[in-house]
Amino acid sequence: MDFEKHDPRTEEPYMILDENGKVVDKENLPELSEDELKYLYKTMVFTRIIDERAVSYQRQGRMLTYAPNTGQEAAQVGSAYALEKRDWLVPAFRELGAWLVKEVPLKNIYLYWYGNEWGSYMPEGVNMLPVAIPIASQMQHATGIAMANNIKGEDSVAMAYVGDGGTSSGDFHESINFAAVFNAPVVFVIQNNQYAISVPRKMQTTSKTLAQKAVSYDIPGILVDGNYIFAMYAVTKQAVERAREGLGPTLIEAYTYRLGAHTTSDDPTKYRLDEEVEEWSVKDPIKRFETYLLNEGIITQEYIEELKEELDQEVGATFESIEDKSDTEVEDIFKYQYEEMTPQLQEQLDEYKSFLEGVK
């Protein structure tokens, strides 16, 4: 695909597989081995199981507020798989599949949503920033990392995710503008899941697509069907290679849908119809990829059932280990803000310790 010839205002999302799992663009079909295809499928299924379990745990009062990912697995796993180990992933808060591709341990992921400070800890060699809750602020961080890579003469790439609602934020535009001006090696992925909490996409902008925001900054932009893992991977890989070659940033709009609630504190039935959810459920990215793999003889129904059972057991065991011993050490709240505590944080910690002594 030639980004330079692609019109980001095109309202028909780019795809490689059709809704029945058949290839419609053989020329750009990624050359992936059977092992890689199985890995991608496994990661998407793992994402779904972790996600469904997390919602269940929260409903049982065993976990804090959680942001579901169901329906967006292809947009996350497909894009993240285009990165190399040395590249940086800069998430918002709904990129579970991407975190798994980046090899963030499941225990850390659950610790974060459990409310433990160590959930934000990234193991050595995992180039990923922690969750960013302030809308679109992570895009500035990604642009900064990419600009630093240029300054240091490194060839690593940064990739940031943002929701459709985040495109209305000033940080979104400032980040892309800086990245374009300084030719930063960064890829911006908009997860357009149609709703920013209760605000629909049509209330965010009158632009035909979100991808066309790229036109203002004279960088490539493309609308991709985010429920097709091949399309997401192929487009993102090209954007990553483009950035690595010194050709600057790219804006990708992953056209997908949030099948669940914005967070477990949200009730989506108040602002969208069940018929709409049903319509998108048919486009389930996992079922679509699964159909392709079954048709190609790469996996079997028995493989699917065994895989789900294996992953479900792993998820259950991991969460139980957290519940057994996962209380946050209050001192970590002070110590983990910076490499070394500031005088103010040290003063607050000392005050806290004095309070505990007084209680005793």
Q: What distance in Å separates the CA atoms of residue 100 and residue 115, rounded to the nearest whole number?
A: 19
141 in active site: no
What is the end-to-end Cα distance of the chain in Å, rounded?
A: 68
Strand 88-90 to strand 158-163: parallel, antiparallel, or no bridges (unpaired)?
parallel
Residue linked to tokens 């005793």: 360
Burial of 64 (0-12, 13-18, 19+ CB in 10 A): middle
Cβ contact 322:328 at 8 Å: no
Q: How many CB atoms lie within 10 A of CB 256?
A: 28
Q: Quick check: is 336 catalytic? A: no
**Helix, strand, or coil (residue 105):** coil
Which candidate in 262, 272, 292, 352 is catalytic?
262
272: which DSSP letter?
Answer: S
Describe the strand order of the beta sheet including 221-225 as a list of residue ranges: 88-90, 158-163, 186-192, 250-255, 221-225
- 271, 288, 336, 352: the catalytic one is 271
Closest CA to 227 of 96, 82, 75: 75
Distance of CA 16 to the CA centre of its chain: 21
Report how far residue 330's alpha carbon sits from residue 322's, in angstroms, rounded to the nearest whole number.
17
In order, the DSSP letters of 55-90 are HHHHHTTSS------TT-HHHHHHHHTTS-TTSEEE
Closest listed residue to residue 223, CA positions, set 24, 26, 9, 3: 9
Phi/psi at 252 (nearest 5 deg)? Answer: -115, 130
Catalytic site residue from 53, 94, 258, 288 = 258
* Residue 102, φ and ψ in degrees, nearest 5: -75, 0
**Catalytic residue positions, numbered:** 258, 262, 271
